């Protein structure tokens, strides 16, 4: 399937469905239709409105939509997004709040590169902004990156994180959400071996597949059931002529979205049918619960083929990080060398993406870290999304993470090793 034709065909199918939705909506809105007094016209318009919006969102990067934050003075301060480090495959951005004193807590959020944009963590950013200086990795859509920019795999991703941490300095607290958890752990271990003074103060790993075999899910079962050859031949396509990355081999975001949707097909089907009913009854709004969620969920981005394939092979199949046998640029990364960075693991009891135990495996790999610098939290009843953006995050997990950051904000000292007699 490594053809531009298949990529363009998929984009054409998406575009056609968007057009059909727009046509149905326009047909139902035609003034002459009001004279028929036929209720089916309202249903056609409702179907068209939901369909057009659904397929339109699949190719547009959502805005951050964070305009202001309230300071300790009770005033609203504007939020300015500034790029601190610009790279071909992703930037490090800062949510700067002019007019307020800089916060002592400096937090770098590592956003997933698993088909969605970094804006998936919008609510996480909003919840941290009042108390922290927030930075985040803003990964780029591979279809918009020219082939001349070169490759980008799990090792390049890890080195990007290393550079971002070095840029921000050691008085930093890193929070990795989902997919980047193992690579963020590897980046910290890389710094422990190459530049110990550049390590962050703390590392919080939220719902990530450190050891996918610790507790199986549909995601891990899929990774074990297919060969790398099958993945390469069925999932990888070349970007079409419409985009700047023409010719680049990618794992298309639309394919990833199809995988996401199929995991809970009945739930999504009911959500859309219910939304059509609400629109037909005039009960829906532009920013209702359905639209807010799906405007973000449906906005997908392409990943480079080498990143997708190396993630499946090295993180899920070979379990390089779980076995502490990961290499970056020819150098072995020893997680056991982390000895001063406090590490906290957060998992959701009902997480069906990274099930409980997968992220907890990180603590066993940290053989050089004292138990006093290790922490873990299992959130009762929380699913994958809830542990970083939902009610569980706001009410329970966020306060625990901030307390953990505060407890480990001082300059770390190396653990004392007892003399051998």
Query: Using one digit for the tens of pLDDT, what is the confidence trace for 358-379?
Result: 999 999 999 999 999 999 999 9
Examine the pLDDT at 420 and tell me if it is beyond 50.
Answer: no
Q: Cα dihedral angle (71, 75, 76, 80), rounded to 10 degrees? A: -60
Q: How far is CA 285 from CA 21, 54, 281, 397, in A?
A: 17, 14, 11, 31
Examine the pLDDT at 146 and tell me if it is beyond 50.
Answer: yes
Tokens of 392: 């569980």
pTM for the model? 0.91
- pLDDT by residue (tens digit) across 48-84? 999 999 999 998 899 998 989 888 878 888 999 999 9
- pLDDT by residue (tens digit) across 321-368? 999 999 999 999 999 999 999 999 999 999 888 899 999 999 999 999
Tokens of 147: 């082939």
- Whether the CA torsion 99, 62, 232, 214 is positive or negative: it is positive
What is the C-alpha separation between 322 and 214, in angstroms, rounded?
A: 9
Question: Half-sphere exposure (CA, 13 Å, Cβ side) for 248?
Answer: 27
What is residue 55's predicted lDDT score, i.e. its pLDDT? 93
**Interval 147-159 mean pLDDT:** 96
Identify which of 181, 128, 173, 200 has the alpha carbon closest to the alpha carbon of residue 393. Answer: 128
Which fold, 68-223+303-407? Rossmann fold (3.40.50)
Sorted by where each begins, the domain ranges of the chain are: 4-59+265-297, 68-223+303-407
- The residue written with tokens 């609400």 in the block is 278
């Amino acid at each position: 399937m490594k053809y531009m034709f298949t990529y363009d065909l998929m984009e054409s199918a998406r575009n056609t469905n968007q057009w059909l939705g727009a046509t149905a909506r326009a047909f139902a809105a035609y003034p002459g239709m009001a004279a028929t007094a036929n209720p089916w016209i309202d249903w056609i318009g409702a179907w068209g409105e939901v369909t057009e919006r659904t397929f339109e969102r699949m190719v547009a990067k959502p805005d951050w939509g964070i305009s202001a934050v309230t300071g300790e003075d009770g005033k609203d301060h504007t939020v300015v997004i500034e790029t601190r480090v610009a790279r071909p495959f992703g930037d490090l951005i800062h949510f700067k709040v002019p007019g307020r004193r800089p916060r002592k807590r400096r937090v770098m959020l590592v956003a997933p590169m698993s088909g969605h944009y970094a804006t998936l963590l919008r609510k996480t950013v909003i919840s941290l902004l009042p108390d922290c200086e927030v930075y985040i990795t803003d990964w780029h859509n591979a279809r918009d990156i020219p082939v001349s920019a070169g490759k980008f795999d799990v090792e390049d991703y890890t080195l990007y994180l290393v550079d971002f941490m070095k840029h921000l300095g050691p008085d930093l607290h890193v929070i990795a959400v989902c997919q980047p958890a193992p690579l963020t752990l590897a980046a910290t271990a890389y710094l422990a071996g190459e530049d110990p003074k550049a390590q962050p103060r703390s590392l919080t790993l939220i719902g990530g597949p450190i050891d996918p075999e610790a507790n199986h899910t549909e995601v891990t079962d899929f990774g074990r059931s297919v060969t790398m050859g099958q993945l390469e031949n069925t999932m990888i396509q070349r970007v079409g002529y419409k985009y700047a990355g023409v010719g680049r081999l990618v794992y298309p975001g639309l394919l990833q979205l199809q995988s996401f949707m199929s995991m809970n097909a009945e739930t999504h089907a009911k959500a859309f049918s219910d939304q059509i009913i609400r629109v037909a009854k005039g009960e829906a709004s532009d920013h209702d619960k359905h639209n807010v969620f799906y405007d973000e969920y449906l906005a997908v981005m392409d990943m480079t083929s080498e990143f997708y394939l190396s993630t499946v092979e090295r993180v899920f199949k070979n379990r390089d990080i779980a076995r502490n046998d990961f290499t970056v640029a020819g150098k072995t990364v020893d997680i056991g060398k982390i000895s001063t960075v406090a590490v906290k693991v957060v998992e959701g009891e009902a997480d069906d993406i990274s099930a409980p135990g997968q992220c907890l495996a990180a603590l066993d790999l940290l053989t050089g870290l004292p138990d006093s610098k290790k922490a873990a939290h299992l959130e009762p009843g929380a699913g994958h999304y809830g542990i970083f953006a939902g009610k569980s995050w706001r009410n329970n997990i966020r306060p625990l993470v901030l307390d953990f950051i505060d407890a480990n904000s001082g300059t770390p000292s190396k653990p004392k090793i007892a003399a051998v007699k």
